[in-house]
Amino acid sequence: MKNSNMAMKNTNFMSSRFVLHWCFLIVFPLQGHENWGFLDSFAGDLGQTAWSESTLQHVAGYDYDVLLFAGDLSYADYFQQKWDSFGQMMSPYAHYRPWMVTEGNHEMEYIPLLAPSFRSYNTRWDMPYAESGSTSNLYYSFDVASAHVLMLGSYTNFGVGSEQYNWLLVRLCCLSQSAANLGAVLWLDAFSFDPVCINCAQSIY
């Protein structure tokens, strides 16, 4: 629990030769407790450089409640040992606070006829997708305190009629009914690696 008077904080925005990563934190007030809230940390494009380690150290200093990771985790790009070294780097931080992740383009690792997309990512980062009615580890949702978080998949089909699209409609309908009956969800966070559209006329899909 954190004092909800804390403002949104930009903790780091650093670049190395290959990686530009970012992180910020937001305190969300809790229902019935105006002066207290839970602290979300948002991160993406981390990689595994000296700057990556510095970013993790900065974030850990804020004693966040949950970290939401937008994708491009390890920058392994087919080199499996880099997945291992990334796991070793982030392990001390993820052991004491939950990390909830979704995929970026560097997690695809598609090898035609040999390996389907996201095999390494799905094997190493098994998210609780089934609990939210999703059929894919690439998109799911979950509750944290007074918020419901939608982790959307930028690199799996999102078109009208797709499995992800239909799943999202069901989730939003359930949330609407739940909020009307219980009023338990004060915040709805939607998180993805890429924006759903570039402008009003052109979808990235």
Q: What are residue 144's DSSP bridge partners? A: 147
Between CA 47 and CA 69 the distance in angstroms is 12
Q: How many CB atoms lie within 10 A of CB 89?
A: 18
Q: What is the pLDDT of residues 132-186, one digit of tens each?
A: 999 999 999 998 877 889 999 999 999 999 999 999 999 999 888 776 555 566 7
User: What CATH number did the domain enclosing 144 receive?
Assistant: 3.60.21.10
Kindly report, residue by residue over 11-67, the tens digit of the pLDDT: 443 333 334 445 555 666 655 555 445 566 788 889 998 888 888 888 888 878 888
Total domain count, the chain: 1
pLDDT in tens, 82-136: 999 999 999 999 888 889 999 999 999 988 888 889 999 999 999 999 999 999 9
pTM over 0.85: no
* Orientation angle between helical segments 50-60 and 80-94, nearest 10 degrees: 20
Q: Which domain holds residue 177?
A: 2-203
